[in-house]
Structure 1
Amino acid sequence: MPRNSRPAAILAIILISYFMILLDNSVIFTGLPSIRAGLDLSPTGLSWVQDAYVLVFGGLLLLGARAGDLIGRRRLFVIGLAVFGTASLLIGLAPTGWWMIAARALQGVGAAIVAPTSLALITAYFEGEARTRAVAWYAATAGIGASLGLLVGGALTDLISWRAAFLVNVPIAAAMIVGARAVLTETPRQRGRFDLVGALCATLGMGALVFGIIESGEAGWGSARVVAALVVGVLLLAALVLTESRAAQPVMPLRLFASRERSGAYAARALYMGAMIGFFFFTTQLMQDALGFTPLQAGLGFLPMSLVNFAVALAIPRLRTRMPDALLLAAGVLLTLIGMVWLSRAGLGGGYLISVALPMVVVGVGQGLAFAPLTTAGIAGVAPQDAGAASGLLNTAHQLGMALGLAVLSAVAAGAGAGLTGPAAVAEHVGAALTASSVLLAVALLVVLVVLVPTARSHRQQRSTAAEQPAVRATA
């Protein structure tokens, strides 16, 4: 373990850098209508502004996590921040839609380095109770960053331009590079090589699936290019599993899936984030295009969720000392589901307070409860040599869940509201998408109840039995 003489400074650098990634992941949402108008993007093109980022982000996360083990996590952390900051500058200067989409993909490369490396640095620098607290703050940062990004994005878009929402990353990335070089010490480097074939299969396979699902909304499921993309995606993902089972140093060690707790956490996280991307992507369009909010008003419109999410995230460390993680997770997913179903009923006739703000509060409580247990379960029982791969796989489930979720929800929304135009059509699109988000959350809740809750109960019984055995032997 590297020297940890300044734990507060180390954790601050890690969390601020991760916060920047999560902030950028959601700051775009309140600027979507302005981006669409400014760059003359079609609905499909607008989807790719987000999916180009999350696809590259999610597809390269595993390689980014492995790279930290091989070349040193501090060095890679600084490289990732530099790439992310440069891409943010290019996005802020984008003259056309294709430039914007390409720069977003490059930004995904930087994010794929910073996100898993930040969690791996927590594993490297902290242990015991200190690591538990650090992971709780990391999880809280994920929820808060996603929520505050909407407010920051709305304010900058309304007061300056949507470009400012990306340019603000440049000085933050520069400051974190200086801080990382001054505070962090290099982690030990492991011998090995990159599993480039595995990383390419993951990225291209998921990309093909997402492309096919998005295109189905306009071309139909029977289209030759849609069918071809889906077939290629399935074949590449099958090749990924085959490659990883044979690779000496796989980018995605299949042994990580041997734990029911970790596998369940990956599945639940992907489903949960697939639903949440729909919440952010479509609710901002409901407020701006259907209810007539400005970007700043839309950002403020998310404030009920942001405030509640922040309060619950701060309370999570205390709640986890009184309640099992599995119970908190189940309650969190259930509350998110209730809020999403409620929000899916919002339309032109409902007011903001009852139809939007109150269900947002319920979703915010649910998200605040769910994130920390999901993160802990995703890295539970991981050996030190697999810390980077496990954190990468956790973030991969997060990002690819969003990419696939947005693709599915966009296809569902495209088929709704036939014959309608204007705000009425937007309301129908949003209602259909959020109903589909509710279905994803229902499946996530099923995974939690069937896989994670029984596994947690089994672990508690095993610990109780192990604690009783010494007492029995001593009595004998």
Structure 2
Amino acid sequence: MSNPHPQPHPHSHPHPAEDAPRTPNTPPGRHTWTLLVLLCLAQFMLVLDVTVVNVALPSMAADLGLGRTALTWVVTAYALCFGGLMLLGGRLADVFGARRTLLTGLALFTAASLLTGLAPNAAALIAGRTAQGVGAALLSPAALAILTTTFEGPARHRALGVWAAIGGAGSAIGVLLGGLLTDGPGWEWIFYVNVPIGAALLLALPALVAARTPRPARLDVPGALLVTAGTGALIYGLVAAGDSGWSDARTLLPVAAAVVVYGAFVAVERAHRSPLIDLRILRRRPVVAGAYLMLVATALLISLFFLGSVYLQEVRGFSALRTGVLFLPVAVATGLGAHLGGHFVGRAGARPTAAVGLALAALGTGALTTVGADGDAWVSVAPGLSFAALGLGSVFVAATTTALGFITHEEAGIASGLVNTFHEVGGSVGVAVVSTVAAPGIAHGSTASFGNAFTVCAVAAAASASAVFVIVPRGTPRMTGGPHVH
């Protein structure tokens, strides 16, 4: 599920005269608006690939013989690489040019989509999803860099508004499209559909985006690899707990390794001349609070999509299409929550908005803790999921405005990049945790295990609602630089 208010990458500030297809201060014409449409279409593919997969998971499992662990990695591998390498992707756009980085990421994502659809087994499927995530990490910040340097003034705000709307539209369409394709030509087509679109974009974009001469700069590749490897080790340990238990060495060793790798990441960032992230930003309470809210909100929302999709199809016997239709109001509720959250943040502040949003999420998921194998899912499941999504939509807005509304303009870029990373990684961690708790239910159709997983979500939401009053600053945020979109 994409953040309704995604952020830009801190390093993605290419020179307008070099990366934009027009000179500064030139009013946007037909070609620049065409460019906006194409860039938004590329971003739409990336957003779509989060939710479209959830509905197809049971069909993938049946065709390829996937177990719970493999299903979990199908979801988490994409978000992990997308989030873990996004900061590096933005930096590459600075160094090698947004055009070159954009086309490289688009080509990789398109090829990976084809290979993922052709995957004959779990290893190939997860490898394809990993490659898709790497391509997305290159494509998204580079596309935003081109967009922000192509448009200026009111036109830029309109363009960023269109870009931001892609998040909500992609999540809503993803659940329905996933059901249509899975029940129709097959789950493979949720990946194949990216291929003709990606190929067309590769042919059209070079003519609309000007190239520029690369400029020398240092790349913090070790930092990017360390933070991604650390998160990967953490997720591996969390997933392993579902099979081996929380005290088993297969769980504890990867988690311990993650701690060590994160420590090495901190050391590298302190020593590097051009670090992936300036660790001094972590001293800023609003940034840490915003990142925390984004982590929690994304973890809860993606977990609900994962749990709900598997539960409805494996326990209740829903088809993929029927599941997608049931999730459509859930996706719409997320967008509505974000819209309402924007109004409440401006009037009451981020703290009460986040607290109320998380409280709603706790109530919604709490209503799902007694799910069974019978009854009308539109009465017993859809309202709880939609209620929780409505609350979480407002938390996304509170997270964004907290991280960017209490800091200086000069800090906005690095803060937004950090929040973006927590957004993508949060989904991976959330799915890993609930997959472990619901392991017996995923393997054997036990409704009690799904109830336990929803209980974990409800407790996490309630605890975070209480923590908001300690973590999130008081007052009404003031956005430092207009809309921020990733």
Q: Displacement of 1:375 after TM fit?
A: 3.3
> Which residue of structure 1 lines up, in the alignment, with residue 230 of structure 2?
205
Checking the alignment, whether the CA contact within 8 Å between 2:79 and 2:427 is kept in structure 1 is yes
The answer as to 2:246 corresponding to 1:221 is yes
> Which residue of structure 1 lines up, in the alignment, with residue 28 of structure 2?
5
> Which residue of structure 1 lines up, in the alignment, with residue 192 of structure 2?
167
- Of residues 447, 458, 461, the one that matches 1:441 is 461
SS in 1 for 2:399: helix
The answer as to 2:425 corresponding to 1:400 is yes
Checking the alignment, whether the CA contact within 8 Å between 1:61 and 1:393 is kept in structure 2 is no
Distance 2:370 2:200 in 1: 44
Distance 1:84 1:175 in 2: 13
Q: Displacement of 1:445 after TM fit?
A: 2.9
Q: Displacement of 1:132 after TM fit?
A: 5.6
Checking the alignment, whether the CA contact within 8 Å between 1:74 and 1:185 is kept in structure 2 is yes
Checking the alignment, whether the CA contact within 8 Å between 1:14 and 1:118 is kept in structure 2 is yes
SS in 2 for 1:41: coil
Q: Displacement of 1:215 after TM fit?
A: 0.9
- Residue type of the alignment partner of 1:47: T
> Which residue of structure 2 lines up, in the alignment, with residue 32 of structure 1?
57
Q: 102-111 vs 442-451, which deviates more?
A: 442-451
Q: Displacement of 1:439 after TM fit?
A: 2.7
Task: Give the alignment of 1:320-399 within 5 angstroms.
Answer: 324=349, 326-380=351-405, 381=407, 387=413, 389-399=414-424
The answer as to 2:449 corresponding to 1:429 is yes
> Which residue of structure 2 lines up, in the alignment, with residue 196 of structure 1?
221
SS in 2 for 1:25: helix
Q: 127-136 vs 260-269, which deviates more?
A: 127-136
- Of residues 42, 66, 81, the one that matches 2:91 is 66
Checking the alignment, whether the CA contact within 8 Å between 2:294 and 2:395 is kept in structure 1 is no
Checking the alignment, whether the CA contact within 8 Å between 1:87 and 1:106 is kept in structure 2 is yes
Output one character per residue of 1:445-464: Cα deviation in whole Å (capped at 9) or x when no partner.
3454333341x44x67xxxx
Consecutive unaligned residues of structure 2, counting only runs of 5 or more, are 1-14, 17-23, 479-486
> Which residue of structure 2 lines up, in the alignment, with residue 474 of structure 1?
none
Checking the alignment, whether the CA contact within 8 Å between 1:124 and 1:187 is kept in structure 2 is no
- Residue type of the alignment partner of 1:371: F
Q: Displacement of 1:421 after TM fit?
A: 8.2
Q: Displacement of 1:54 after TM fit?
A: 2.2
SS in 2 for 1:292: coil
- Residue type of the alignment partner of 1:340: T
Output one character per residue of 1:236-284: Cα deviation in whole Å (capped at 9) or x when no partner.
0011111111211001221332332222111111111111121011101
- Of residues 256, 259, 274, the one that matches 1:234 is 259
Is the alpha carbon distance of 1:333 and 1:355 closer, same or farther for their aligned partners in structure 2, counting shifts above 3 Å?
same
Pairs aligned (count): 452
Checking the alignment, whether the CA contact within 8 Å between 2:301 and 2:392 is kept in structure 1 is no
Distance 1:166 1:346 in 2: 32
Q: Displacement of 1:189 after TM fit?
A: 6.2
Q: 208-217 vs 6-15, which deviates more?
A: 6-15
Checking the alignment, whether the CA contact within 8 Å between 2:241 and 2:250 is kept in structure 1 is no
Q: Displacement of 1:42 after TM fit?
A: 1.5
Is the alpha carbon distance of 1:79 and 1:330 closer, same or farther for their aligned partners in structure 2, counting shifts above 3 Å?
farther
> Which residue of structure 1 lines up, in the alignment, with residue 7 of structure 2?
none
Q: Displacement of 1:48 after TM fit?
A: 1.7
Is the alpha carbon distance of 1:17 and 1:403 closer, same or farther for their aligned partners in structure 2, counting shifts above 3 Å?
same
> Which residue of structure 1 lines up, in the alignment, with residue 10 of structure 2?
none
- Of residues 197, 202, 208, the one that matches 1:177 is 202
Is the alpha carbon distance of 1:382 and 1:407 closer, same or farther for their aligned partners in structure 2, counting shifts above 3 Å?
farther
Distance 1:175 1:259 in 2: 43
Cα RMSD over matched residues? 2.9
